[in-house]
Structure 1
């Protein structure tokens, strides 16, 4: 079940995580189902955090120079 998480896009993982949170908050799940959902949610959260870190590493900050031209620099 968690084996496919690494292949999920950030958006798909986040959407599933949001569904899990809503279901857990409803209080309508049986205990074992809630535990399983919580475990999957934790794995999805970690995956989302990893995807965000990867994106941050790739993001370039656009800096406007005094003459109005734009420069790009890597974010450290």
Structure 2
């Protein structure tokens, strides 16, 4: 079942769904740097925040799937 974050990612940022963990994490680091810019316009900051949340959610989804695989192998 897709979560609200996953649905937002798919509709707002369809490119994120195709990213590897490493690609999404690297972009997330850049997003954080952008958010640290005190001179960035509020609208740009809000867009960055939304993309950052989508990237973080995608990374978490990949990590959760990897953990589930590891746990399944330990049981089996």
2:56 aligned with 1:55 = no
* Larger RCO, structures 1/2 (Cα 8 Å, 6+ apart): 2
- Residue 67 of structure 2 aligns to a residue whose secondary structure is helix
| 1:26 counterpart residue number | 37
Cα distance in 2 between the residues matched to 1:42 and 1:29: 18
RMSD: 2.1
The answer for unaligned runs of 5 or more in structure 1 is: 61-71
Q: Which runs of 4+ in 1 moved over 6 A?
A: none
More helix by share: 2
TM-score (structure 1 length as normaliser): 0.74
What is the total number of aligned residue pairs between the two structures?
A: 65
| 1:13 counterpart residue number | 24
The answer for unaligned runs of 5 or more in structure 2 is: 1-11
Larger radius of gyration: 1
Cα distance in 2 between the residues matched to 1:56 and 1:10: 14
Cα distance in 2 between the residues matched to 1:23 and 1:33: 9
